[in-house]
Structure 1
Amino acid sequence: MSDTRLPATRREVLARSGALGAGIAFTGALSELFTGTAAALGHHGYGPLVPDPAGLLDLPRGFRYRVLSREGDPLLSGEGRVPSNHDGMAAFQGRHGRVHLVRNHENRNTGRIPVPTVEGLTYDPAGKGGCTALTLDARGNVVGERVAIAGTAVNCAGGPTPWGTWLTCEETEDKAGTNGYTKDHGFVFEVDGADPRRSGAVPLTAMGRFQHEAVAVDPRRGVVYETEDAFLKPFGLFYRFLPNKPEGGPGSLRAGGRLQAMRVPGVPDLSSIQETGATFDRVEWVDVPDPLAVETPIRLQDFGSRGITHAQKLEGCYWGGTCVYFVSSFAHSSEGSAATHFGQIWRYDPSSRRLTLVIVFGPDTDVQLPGESPDNICLASGGGLMVCEDGEGAQHVYGVTRRGEVYAMARNRQNIGTPEAPEWGEFAGVTFSPDHRTMYVNCYTPGTTFAVTGPWRK
C-alpha cells in the first residue's frame, strides 16, 4: 500500500542491481496457489488492453467497466462525501441477489476527504480513516452507500471472515496524543457491511497493535493470520492469532486470544531466501510479549536469544485451500534487507507447520508493463490470480495464469501528474463478486471504485 516515504524508482533499483535488460523473471510452482477448476488462460491472457476513450480504465476487448463510486461525490446516505484513498475491499453476498462491498479508506490525519464521523460508528473523532459500505442490487446498480466505521486511521487492507464480515486494519502505530489522536491506533476492527451498527467501532485489541496490513482466516481452525507492513528496518513480522472462540461468528474475536509471531529457525530475514520451492519444516510460533505495544513496538520486543523472523513490506494475505498465502511486495538490500527481490509469495501449511517460497516476481525492464511489486491479491474467477501492482510508472491489475504467465488485466488511465511528467495512482482492493461474474477494484487516487464484467470464463 502507499506509504509516506519517497522510494527510488524501479529503474533506479534495477540499475543498482544490474537487472536492466533482464526481462520479466517469474518463477514458482503456480499450481500450488489455485483451488479453482477453470483451465489456464492462454499466453496472452485475455488479449491486449484497449485504450479507454473516457481515459479512466483500459481493459481487454470484450470487457467493460462501470464506475460505482468516486471520491468527493455525495454518499447516498446523506452522511457526507465519499472519502479519499480507496484501498482494501471485499464483496459479500446479500439477500435477494444483492452484494455488499466494504471498502477501506487509508486516510492519515491529513487525508483529503476524511470518512465522516457518525454517532455509534466512530472510534476516535480525530481519526480520518475508516470504511464505507456499498450495496448493489441484482443488476449491479448502487442502491446504498454509507459509512461503515469512522474515526480510525490509515485503514490499509484487511480480510473477509468466514461468517461474512470484514476485518479492517490500521497501518499505523500512533498513540493517543500523536498527530492529534485522542486514542491509540494500530488495531483491527470488525465491520458488518450489511448492517454496520451491529459491529460498531470496537478495536480487537488482543490481535495486536502494530502496522497492520492484511489478514486471512483459517475457516476450519478459526486462526487469524496477520501481516505487518513495516518498510523501515526492523521490518515487519508474520503473526497468527489464536482466538478464545475459534468457532467464530460476528463479534467472536472480541473474546480475545493469544497473539504469536512466526520464527523460522536460522532465517532472520525472509528476503535471504531466493530459490522458489525452498521449504522450512520446523516453523515455530512465539508468544508476543506485549501485544498492545505499550512501551515498545512488537517487532522491536525481546523474543529471546533465538530472535524472530522479519521481512520487508509484508502486504497481501489470503486463505487458499488448506494453506495461508502471504506477500512480500519487495525487499531492497540498500534499505537494510538481507537481499533484493521484486516480490515473493509464501505459503504456510498449518497441518505440517511447513513454510514454502512459492513465487518470485520481477524484475521488469519497462515501467509501463506489469510484473513486480505485488500488493493486494485474490483468486480469479477464470483460474489463476489477480494482483494489484504497487510500483512505479503505469499501474496495472495483472493476472497470473496457472502456467506462470503474467498478463495485464487493467491499466489506470487517470493521470494525477502532468502531461510532461504523468503519474498514476495504484490499484487496490481487487475482489470478485460471490457469483464470480464481476471483478471489483479500487483506484487509490483519485479514489474510484470500478465493477468490471466480461468473459471471465473464457
Structure 2
Amino acid sequence: MSETRSDSTPESGRTVNRRQVLARSGAVGLGIAFSGALSELFAGTASALGRSGYGPLVPDPNGLLDLPAGFRYQVLSREGDRLRSGEGTVPSNHDGMSAFAGKGGSVHLVRNHENRVTARFAVPTVEGITYDPQGKGGCTALTLDHRGTVVSERVAIAGTAVNCAGGPTPWGTWLTCEETEDRAGTNGYTKDHGFIFEVDPVDPHRTGAVPLTAMGRFQHEAIAIDPQQGIVYETEDAFEKPFGLFYRFLPNRPRGGVGSLRAGGRLQAMRVPGVPDLSSVQETGASFDGIEWVDVPDPLATRTPVRLQDFGPRGITHAQKLEGCYWGGTCVYFVSSFAHSTEGSAADHFGQIWRYDPAAHRLTLVIVFGPDTEVQLPGESPDNICLAPGGGLMVCEDGNGAQHVFGVSRRGEVYAMARNRQNIGTPEAPEWGEFAGVTFAPDGRTMYVNCYTPGTTFAVTGPFHG
C-alpha cells in the first residue's frame, strides 16, 4: 500500500453560526420542514426567484404527473417501448440525466439506466460502445428538435452496471457513474465494475466504453466539475458501514476536453478534522475550516474497498447516502440523502446539503430537509438535485410515501413542483417510484425529469420564474 499523504491548510478548527429558518410549503398537507442558509446557495441570482412556488398541484386526469396550474407535460420516452434507432427496447430504471445544447435550438438528453442483473429491460448491447456484454446498465441519448419533439433515441453506452447518477462536463459530455463494486466473476460479469465512463451525447462512438480508472473504483453516485480548475468532485453512496467518502480528482489535463480524463490524475478523499461522520453535525451554518484532502492509497481497490483503506492515524470522514453533487458559483454542493443511527451512522437526519469552498478550504452545512413529524410525510431523502433557471433549486425526492420534485426558493421556502401519480403498488397499498435526473434545457424553458419506476422521461413546460 502506497504512502498516504495530504495536502491541506493547517487545521484551524470549527466555527458555528446559528441560523434557524424554518420554511414550510404553502401546499396544504405537505408537512415539510427545512432549515438552511439559502443566501449561500443563490447569492447573485435573479431577484425573481425570491418568489416561491407556483400554487397547489392539480391532479392529472391521466394519472401520470401532477403539476401546478399553467404547467403541462409531455412523455418523451417509457421503458418497454421501442428505441427509435431500432437497437432494441427502451431500458428500465431511468436515473441521472443531463441536457445539452444542440444545433438549431435542439437539445440532447443523456439518461442513465440503473440496471442490475435482474433488470426487466437491459440496455441493448451495441458494437463499439459496450464495456461488458453481461452488464445490463448504461445510458441512452435522446435528441429533441427546437419544438421539443423527439427526433432520435439511441444507446449511448452499454455493458455497464447500476448507472446511478453522474454529471455534465464543461466541454459538453456526460460522466456516467457505476454504483457498484462488483468484480469480474460476480453476478456473471466478465469485467470489474465500479467506474466512471465518459459519454458524448452527439456521437457516443467518439467516447466509446472506456473506464476512467484513475477516478477510482467504488460505489459512485454523482460528480461535479470546477470549470476553472478542472477538479472533479465525486460522491460515494456506500450501502453499509463504513459509509462513503467525498472525493476530488486532480486530472493531469485540467483544461479538459473529450477524452482528457483518460490521461489520469490523482484521487483524494476529504478529511474534516475532528469529524469522522458528517451525520454528527446537525446545526445549519456549522462550518469547518482546514479541510484536508488525503491521497487514496489504491484507487482501483485491488484488494480493499477505498473507504476501508488506511488513511493514516487520523482516519477519514464518512457519510451515509452521499448522492447529488453540483457546482454553483465558486463552490461545490453535495447531498447526504439521510442518515440512520440504526444502520450505523453517528446520528439521524432526513437529508442535508453541504457546501465546500475550495478557496477557503471550508465546509458548511447549509440545508437540512425533513418532515415535521414522521418519515411517512413528504420532504425526506433528497437525491438528484439541480439549479433551476436563474438560480433556484430543484430536488428529487427518494423516500417513503408520495414522491415529489420539490423546489426551494431564495427565501428558504420549500414547495411542490411535481408529484408522481404512477401507482406501482395496489389500490389498497399504493406505492410510487422515486424521481430522478431533474435537469433544465439550456434556455431554461423546459424541465426534464425521470420517474425511476416505471421508467418514464417527462418534459415539463410552463411559466418558470426567470
TM category (shorter chain) comes to over 0.9
Mapping 1:86-165, distance limit 5 Å: 86-165=94-173
Unaligned stretches of 5+ in structure 2? 1-28
Residue 182 of structure 1 aligns to a residue whose secondary structure is coil
8 Å Cα contact 2:30/2:377 also seen in 1: no
Match of 1:18 in 2: none
Match of 2:314 in 1: 306
Query: Among residues 213, 230, 233, which one is paired with 1:205 in the alignment?
Result: 213
Mapping 1:368-379, distance limit 5 Å: 370-379=378-387
8 Å Cα contact 1:46/1:409 also seen in 2: yes
Match of 2:263 in 1: 255
TM-score, structure 2 normalization: 0.92
8 Å Cα contact 1:368/1:393 also seen in 2: yes
2:294 partner amino acid: V
8 Å Cα contact 1:217/1:223 also seen in 2: yes
Tell me how far apart the structure 1 counterparts of residues 119 and 179 of structure 2 sit (CA, whole Å).
14
1:252 partner amino acid: S
8 Å Cα contact 1:364/1:370 also seen in 2: no
2:340 partner amino acid: H
Residue 347 of structure 1 aligns to a residue whose secondary structure is strand
Match of 2:189 in 1: 181
Residue 66 of structure 1 aligns to a residue whose secondary structure is strand
1:296 aligns to 2:328 (yes or no): no
1:40 aligns to 2:54 (yes or no): no
Give 1:231 deviation, angstroms. 2.8
Give 1:24 deviation, angstroms. 3.5
Match of 1:417 in 2: 425
1:275 partner amino acid: E
Tell me how far apart the structure 1 counterparts of residues 196 and 372 of structure 2 sit (CA, whole Å).
35
Give 1:380 deviation, angstroms. 1.0
CA offset digits 1:105-132 (Å, max 9, x no partner): 0000111100000000100000000000
Residue 271 of structure 1 aligns to a residue whose secondary structure is helix
Mapping 1:398-417, distance limit 5 Å: 398-417=406-425
Tell me how far apart the structure 2 counterparts of residues 231 and 340 of structure 1 sit (CA, whole Å).
16
Tell me how far apart the structure 2 counterparts of residues 354 and 258 of structure 1 sit (CA, whole Å).
21
Pair 272,443 (structure 1): closer, same or farther in 2 beyond 3 Å:
same
CA offset digits 1:201-238 (Å, max 9, x no partner): 00000000000000000000000000000131000000
Query: Among residues 321, 325, 336, which one is paired with 1:328 in the alignment?
Result: 336
Give 1:193 deviation, angstroms. 0.5
TM-score, structure 1 normalization: 0.94
1:281 aligns to 2:295 (yes or no): no
Tell me how far apart the structure 2 counterparts of residues 218 and 159 of structure 1 sit (CA, whole Å).
12
Give 1:369 deviation, angstroms. 5.2
Residue 40 of structure 1 aligns to a residue whose secondary structure is helix
1:190 aligns to 2:190 (yes or no): no
Mapping 1:211-290, distance limit 5 Å: 211-290=219-298
Give 1:37 deviation, angstroms. 1.4
8 Å Cα contact 1:229/1:313 also seen in 2: yes
2:385 partner amino acid: I
Pair 388,187 (structure 1): closer, same or farther in 2 beyond 3 Å:
same
Match of 1:81 in 2: 89
Tell me how far apart the structure 2 counterparts of residues 401 and 22 of structure 1 sit (CA, whole Å).
16
Match of 1:433 in 2: 441
Pair 382,455 (structure 1): closer, same or farther in 2 beyond 3 Å:
farther
Tell me how far apart the structure 2 counterparts of residues 424 and 23 of structure 1 sit (CA, whole Å).
18
8 Å Cα contact 1:370/1:407 also seen in 2: no
Give 1:23 deviation, angstroms. 5.3
Give 1:330 deviation, angstroms. 0.4
Residue 33 of structure 2 aligns to a residue whose secondary structure is coil
8 Å Cα contact 1:70/1:449 also seen in 2: yes
Tell me how far apart the structure 2 counterparts of residues 176 and 50 of structure 1 sit (CA, whole Å).
48
Tell me how far apart the structure 2 counterparts of residues 28 and 386 of structure 1 sit (CA, whole Å).
15
Residue 26 of structure 1 aligns to a residue whose secondary structure is strand
Give 1:365 deviation, angstroms. 3.6
Give 1:382 deviation, angstroms. 5.3
Unaligned stretches of 5+ in structure 1? 1-20
Aligned length: 437
Tell me how far apart the structure 1 counterparts of residues 125 and 220 of structure 2 sit (CA, whole Å).
22
1:290 partner amino acid: D
8 Å Cα contact 2:32/2:377 also seen in 1: no
CA offset digits 1:44-77 (Å, max 9, x no partner): x100000001100000000000000000000000
1:343 aligns to 2:351 (yes or no): yes
**Bigger CA drift: 368-377 or 407-416?**
368-377
Pair 366,337 (structure 1): closer, same or farther in 2 beyond 3 Å:
closer
CA offset digits 1:60-105 (Å, max 9, x no partner): 0000000000000000000000000000000000111110000000
Match of 1:53 in 2: 61
1:390 aligns to 2:398 (yes or no): yes
CA offset digits 1:269-293 (Å, max 9, x no partner): 0000011111111100000000000
